[in-house]
Amino acid sequence: MKSGEKTGIINLKNEIVIPIEFDWVGVENDYLKVATPGEDMKFGLYDKEGKVIIPAEYQWITNSDTERSKITILKKEEGSYNFLDQNNQLILPENISEFGYVHDEDLLLNPFSSNGNYLMFVKDKNGKYGLLNEITEKLSVPMVYDQIIQYFTFDESTYYSVKKNGKFGLINEKNEVIIPIQYDDISLDFVYHKNNDNEHEIVVAKGKKYGTVNLKNQIRIPFQYDELQRISYAELYKAKTGGKYRIIGANHQFINKDTFDEVANFEPKYENPYDDQPTFQALTFNNGRMRVIDENGNYHTEAIEMNPHRGFRSFDELKTELIRALDSENDELLKDFAAKIAPSEHLLYYLKENVFDESSLNYYHPQMLSQIKEKYYNTLLKFKHQAWNQESGWGYNRSSLTDVTDYTLYKSGIVTNGRNTDHAFGDTKYLEKILRNAIKINGYWISTYFMMRGFW
């Protein structure tokens, strides 16, 4: 019912259920959501009988994006959040400063189930992290960790890499310590899902040396490398000593005698559509030249001039660096950002088709790639100086970038991002084009803006 400019709800008996004093009334998670009038709009919740569940003093109220979750997310003010359970009770005794989802072993971020464990991270006012189960609506892991980094699943358990008191280790969803929190680094990239716990290998560091341990904390690769990184689910690593990389294979031995400046991730290569036993190949780089190598150390091409891509391994990293570049007085940061999200010869080795119309990308040559980088930079530069500053009169709403979650997932055979909200319009809409439909190729995120119709 409306009375003048105010809105409320009455029932069939002409009894007031929601007072006629609000600017707007809607529905959220089976509650009635109200909004106060005026520029400083505040939200609250009523039940269907008109009882106040949450007073109208919150900046926004919304339901969780997680499948099967029934919690309601409450934002009191910037850096102050809580959750409402199905019994209309606040889940946490004190508001938290941040919440979100944890990266998996592919550095993807999404609100979907991790092996039946629907856990999001929560961060208290003291900067400590824990895990909230969105189905049981209780803390599964208390807020005692400095960082919760990545997760992977095996059987019915979910494992999380964590940091506490400056040291790293592994816990499960019950907060049981699986690998002691005693290491100086940890990575769950490409954790191999084997048949039993002893065969999983986790990259960790002791001091400045890296090796691997299994889930019983038994050493599998000795701590002797300056850097060790898993680069395939096929149990392949690049190991650095003396400034150069070598490749370690599944038997924990080097696959050949050569050293490299860089080794890209190994990708599966199928001989035919029915092949269920692919070989794995990677691009190796040395002195500005590239050769393709397989998992057994055999080369499949002659050396050609090519440098490895420099870019972002997670979409969160990409967004963080974009915001930093837009905020900086130094435009060189933006030029570097544009180069990282543009395609390179390295990535076009794998990316053969336009993701929008399946046309060939084989005609792209180095000069065209340079032109893409330049156009990305010039477009972002114009946006930075004309729209990023909201005081310019037609500025971009920064919250569209800083407060919107970009989920990352497999979609139609590629790894891409899905923005759950778009706020840009008119002359700033292209920023959404740069961010939406980004794709991950051989471990790096790039913008697909150059593939869009009308880009050239």
Distance CA 238, CA 231 (A): 7
pLDDT for 304 equals 97
- CA dihedral 141→144→149→154, nearest 10 degrees, is -30
Report the candidate in 291, 289, 292, 270 with the shortest Cα–Cα distance to residue 281: 292
Distance CA 356, CA 433 (A): 13
Residue 444: its H or E element: strand 444-446
Q: Which residues contact 363 (CB under 8 A, 6 or more apart)?
A: none
pLDDT for 66 equals 86
pLDDT tens profile 281-323: 999 999 999 999 999 999 999 999 999 999 999 999 999 999 9
337: helix, strand or coil = helix
* Full domain range(s) for residue 436: 315-451
Number of domains in the chain: 1
Distance CA 90, CA 237 (A): 46
pLDDT for 315 equals 93
Tokens of 424: 């840009």
Q: Is residue 171 part of a domain?
A: no
Q: Is residue 130 part of a domain?
A: no
Report the candidate in 367, 316, 310 with the shortest Cα–Cα distance to residue 339: 310
Q: Is residue 362 part of a domain?
A: yes
If you search the block for the tokens 């699986």, which residue do you land on?
Answer: 178
Q: Is residue 392 part of a domain?
A: yes
Q: Is residue 212 part of a domain?
A: no
Q: Is residue 339 part of a domain?
A: yes
| pTM summary value | 0.90
Q: Is residue 369 part of a domain?
A: yes
pLDDT tens profile 216-246: 999 999 999 999 999 999 889 999 999 999 9
pLDDT tens profile 145-175: 999 999 999 888 899 999 999 999 999 999 9
pLDDT for 434 equals 79
pLDDT for 402 equals 79
Low-confidence ranges of the chain (pLDDT < 70): 1-4, 113-116, 193-198, 273, 275, 389-395, 420-430
From the DSSP assignment, how many helices (H) and strands (E) are in the chain? 6, 35
45: helix, strand or coil = strand
b/e map 27-41, b = 16+ CB within 10 Å: ebbebbbbbeeeeee
Q: Is residue 381 part of a domain?
A: yes
At what angle are helices 315-327 and 366-383 packed, to 10 degrees?
A: 60
